[in-house]
Structure 1
Amino acid sequence: MSVPLIELRSISKRYGEGAAELMALKTIDLRIEAGEFVAIMGPSGSGKSTAMNILGCLDTPTGGQYLFKGARVETLSRDQRARLRRRYLGFVFQGFNLLARTSAKENVELPLLYRGDSAHDRARAAAQALSDVGLAGWETHTPGELSGGQQQRVAIARAIVTQPAVVLADEPTGNLDTRRSHEIMGLLMALNRDHGITVLMVTHEPDMAAYAHRMVHFLDGRIAKDAVNPTPTTEAPASALSETT
């Protein structure tokens, strides 16, 4: 059997002690192959965000094993996890998390700046990433000069500028209207299909999750359901794209 890109083995996460103890994750198992598009769903407090934080190397489990390309992530130091994030992971957030007085190009360059790339390489990669998300020509615009959908495109360009193996998207359409939400989902779908980027997306919206090839439902700290989506959405419904924004 081939080694999966990501594997969680009996992962648990406990917060607090004694009467204040909370088991956010209860020995979950999850296997994700390279190139998958997975929607992670569940009600508030179900454990889905805790699982995403562990997958993104932003938190560590209390018990169990987290393997990334066969390497034991939970045994890595803080600096080693940071290097793994910079090399293999890209992040997209609900709130965009862009620097307000900084151009789109400079926002996209940030991960490369932290990585120590040269100014020439940063500029070239940022321009390509912005082109990949349909924002060629918008490099000098600040977030305040962009629509919500355009800001999320900048955020996605920032996530993919390092050419990551995985993009972790946390409610990427939560601050967008219906039309822009479907546009962003179409973009994530294209990045997965055309660039082979593995996409892990937390969402509470069934119509957004419908774009994924697989849906993993969390409930009470456990995986309640893990199923292939037999008919993933391949394009936005006409009714959604006809709405005014």
Structure 2
Amino acid sequence: MSEPLIVLTGVTRSFGSGAAAFQALRGVDLEIEEGDFVAIMGPSGSGKSSLMNILGCLDTPTGGSYRFRGLAVESLNRDQRAMLRRHALGFVFQGFNLLARTSAQENVELPLLYRGEPVARRHELARAALASVGLSGWEHHTPAELSGGQQQRVAIARALVTGPSLLLADEPTGNLDTERSREIMDLLAGLNRDQGITVLMVTHEPDMAEYAHRIVRLVDGRIASDTRKAASPAEEGAQ
């Protein structure tokens, strides 16, 4: 069998020192296979954000091991972690994080600009990414001209445009109403199912977590439960 996409072994993360030290993660063991869809849940202060920052190479563990496709991530320097983010990871945030005066296509092209892709290639890939999230014809609209759901679709297209192995979604429906939330979750589930993109999502909404194959619950920096479901709502609907 091939090695999982992600293997965390005894991962800890502490902030501060001495008596004032705060243990955000207290020995997390977690494996995520290629093509999985995992929801991370837990109360405020449970360690969800610290875990996502480590998985997204935005932070490093205080202790333990993080392997991504067999690569020891904790041993990488800042530039090497940035390179891994640029080529293997995509990020979707609750607040969309789009540039206000920039078109949808230009927003999606940003990761390619940082990667040094030629202009024509950037245009081609950005248009294809927008089409993949149902936004063909909206390339030249600014965020102010888009609904919240459309803005999140642009953000997802931006995350997908580099062809990542792992999509990290932090409360992706937190700023959306119920109908738009379901649209975004159907989109993420479809990308996972049809393109095989591994999705790791932090959410506090149980109905959104139900779209995942697996629900991992954190409490006080430890994994309290790790439950794999028989089928997600999207999968049941496709049967």
- Which TM class, normalised by the smaller chain length? over 0.9
Residue 30 of structure 1 is matched in structure 2 by 30
1:223 aligns with 2:223: yes
Residue 242 of structure 1 is matched in structure 2 by none
Letter paired with 2:35: G
Mapped to 2, the partners of 1:198 and 1:231 lie a distance apart of 16
8 Å CA contact 1:186, 1:235 repeated in 2: no
Instruction: After TM superposition, list the pairs within 5 Å mapping 1:36-185 onto structure 2.
Output: 36-185=36-185
Letter paired with 2:138: W
Tell me the TM-score normalized by structure 1: 0.95
1:201 Cα deviation after fit: 0.2
1:234 Cα deviation after fit: 1.2
Mapped to 1, the partners of 2:55 and 2:108 lie a distance apart of 22
Residue 12 of structure 1 is matched in structure 2 by 12
Mapped to 1, the partners of 2:134 and 2:235 lie a distance apart of 17
Question: What are the ranges of 5 or more consecutive residues in structure 2 without an aligned counterpart?
Answer: none
String of CA shifts for 1:29-81, please: whole Å, max 9, x gaps.
00000000000000000001100100000000000000000010000000000
8 Å CA contact 1:87, 1:164 repeated in 2: yes
Mapped to 2, the partners of 1:163 and 1:190 lie a distance apart of 15
Mapped to 2, the partners of 1:236 and 1:149 lie a distance apart of 24
1:2 Cα deviation after fit: 2.3
Tell me the TM-score normalized by structure 2: 0.97
Structure 1 consecutive aligned stretches of length 4 or more whose deviation exceeds 4 Å: none
String of CA shifts for 1:201-244, please: whole Å, max 9, x gaps.
0000000000000000000000000010123111899xxxxxxx
Identity %: 69
8 Å CA contact 1:211, 1:233 repeated in 2: yes
Q: Secondary structure at the match of 1:217?
A: strand
Q: Secondary structure at the match of 1:66?
A: strand
8 Å CA contact 1:186, 1:236 repeated in 2: no
Q: Secondary structure at the match of 1:25?
A: strand
Q: Secondary structure at the match of 1:234?
A: helix
Mapped to 2, the partners of 1:181 and 1:236 lie a distance apart of 18
Number of residue pairs the alignment of both structures matches: 237
